[in-house]
């Protein structure tokens, strides 16, 4: 099993992950291709960003084993973006020179008692977390945020289904 280790930063001594180990999400038929692209992106990041993104990916999959991995917005000018979803988009994962950014689709509606959101705070819908090199991740709080995002998606889906059923009932009368 291939191993990756961060080349720099405090995680370099403490964090090793095994490519593919415990990283198999429940995926739709094309989800395997998305999971492979996410793994490839992680492997291409030969520093703390790859280790951080791999760790966050694992936390997401641990928080809700039914989360699906997707690869979206791929075009000639962009390699695409990892997306985790269940009953709608949960979050995206992007890497930049100085940060690994996770943007939550419904972040503004989520309770964040541990104040993990530290970016895109002015928006009405989304919120993001910027992870910098060497920062400690509060695994438990992050998993709770993922679960809250899934619950928010499920609530919106249930609300839409109830409205649709209500309209059908009204038409029959």
State the pLDDT at residue 9: 43
Beta-strand ranges (E) seen in the chain are 3-5, 16-18, 68-72, 81-85, 89-95, 99-104, 127-132
Report which of 11, 34, 15 is spatially closest to residue 3, judged by C-alpha positions.
15
**Mean pLDDT in order along the chain per 10 residues (173 residues):** 42 42 47 91 95 97 96 90 96 96 96 95 94 96 97 91 77 69
Number of CB atoms found within 10 A of residue 89's CB: 18
Radius of gyration of the chain (CA): 18
Q: Is residue 74 classed exposed, middle or buried when 0-12, 13-18 and 19+ CB atoms within 10 A define those classes? A: exposed
Q: Give the pLDDT confidence of 144-161 residue by residue, as tens digits.
A: 999 999 999 999 988 888
State the pLDDT at residue 173: 63
State the pLDDT at residue 24: 43
The structural domains of the chain, with segments of one domain joined by +, span 3-172
State the pLDDT at residue 30: 66
Q: Give the pLDDT confidence of 66-88 residue by residue, as tens digits.
A: 999 999 998 898 889 999 999 99
State the pLDDT at residue 8: 43
State the pLDDT at residue 68: 96
State the pLDDT at residue 85: 97
State the pLDDT at residue 13: 39
């Amino acid at each position: 099993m291939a191993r990756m280790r961060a080349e720099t930063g405090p995680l370099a001594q403490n964090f090793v992950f095994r490519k593919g180990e415990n990283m198999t999400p429940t995926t739709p038929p094309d989800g395997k291709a998305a999971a492979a692209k996410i793994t490839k992106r992680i492997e291409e990041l030969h520093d703390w960003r790859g280790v951080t993104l791999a760790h966050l990916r694992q936390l997401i999959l641990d928080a809700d084993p039914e989360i699906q991995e997707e690869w979206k917005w791929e075009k000639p000018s962009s390699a695409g973006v990892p997306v985790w979803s269940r009953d709608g988009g949960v979050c995206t994962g992007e890497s930049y020179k100085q940060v690994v950014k996770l943007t939550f689709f419904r972040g503004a509606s989520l309770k964040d008692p541990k104040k993990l959101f530290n970016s895109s705070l002015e928006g009405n819908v989304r919120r993001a977390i910027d992870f910098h090199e060497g920062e400690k991740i509060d695994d438990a709080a992050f998993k709770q945020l993922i679960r809250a995002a899934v619950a928010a998606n499920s609530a919106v889906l249930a609300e839409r289904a109830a409205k649709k059923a209500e309209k059908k009932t009204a038409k029959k009368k």
